[in-house]
Amino acid sequence: MSVQTRAKVVFFSFLPYFLVYYLVQTFITTSDYNFLTEIDKSIPFNPHFVWVYLTMIPVVGITLIFLIKRKDLFLSAIVAFLIATVILSFFYILLPAFYPRDGFVDNSTISGFLVELTKKLDGAQNTFPSSHVTFSWLITFFIGLSACAKKNKWLRIGFLIWASLITLSTLAIKQHFIVDALSGILLAYLCYIFSKKMVFEGLLKTN
């Protein structure tokens, strides 16, 4: 499968998520759900984590297009992302939980400016589970099966550190509750396991 083909598949696979994301941001404006805990309150606001937070989309896209080259592994990853998109959309529409963002402002640094910009583009209507956490851990699970990760163990370790930092960043810039992060990791793992079985076993049966 060529790079161009993988790029097209990735683009069209993520379109449904961004469509639902836009609709949720536009039409869901209230929520009766509040998952704020004392643990969430104890985590200090740190705007500098926004630099990590903003790497999710480019890292996932680049990894799927350029690093996961085996066809069955690539298809399995795409299936996992599509399943995750459906489940995330279900929760965002039926269980919208708004993170209370008032008071978390930093007007003195570039990081603070980026946090404010992120808040405007990424509203509080889509917190549970965290798509940032889900997608970052999904790509981390799949890169671990790739040929490049098997040749270089540090690549796998690097992705594990990155996914952990993405998870922490969602809490540090006050975009998500801790339950959003934990449920995101669980969702990523379940989608990873299910898609592997569905794609790998399907390919084996047809060959």
Q: Identify whether 30 is part of a domain.
A: no
Q: Identify whether 33 is part of a domain.
A: no
Work out the pLDDT band at 206, boundaries 50, 70, 90: very low
Domain of residue 152, residue span:
63-95+119-207
Provide the β-strand partners of residue 82. Answer: none
Residue-level pLDDT at 28? 80
Q: Identify whether 70 is part of a domain.
A: yes
Q: How many whole angstroms separate alpha carbon 31 and alpha carbon 26? A: 14
Q: How many whole angstroms separate alpha carbon 41 and alpha carbon 159? A: 28
Q: Which tens digit of pLDDT belongs to each residue from 161-187? A: 999 999 999 999 999 999 999 999 999
Q: What is the mean pLDDT of residues 24-41?
A: 85
Domain count, the chain: 1
List of residues 6+ apart from 59 with CB closer than 8 A: 136, 139, 162
Q: How many residues does the chain have?
A: 207
Q: What is the DSSP letter of 68?
A: -
Q: Identify whether 47 is part of a domain.
A: no
The pTM assigned to this predicted structure is: 0.92
Q: Identify whether 36 is part of a domain.
A: no
Q: Identify whether 198 is part of a domain.
A: yes
Q: Identify whether 46 is part of a domain.
A: no
List of residues 6+ apart from 122 with CB closer than 8 A: 175
For 28, the 3-state DSSP assignment is: coil
Does pLDDT of 32 surpass 80?
no
Q: Which tens digit of pLDDT belongs to each residue from 115-169? A: 999 988 887 777 899 999 999 999 999 999 999 998 998 999 999 999 999 999 9
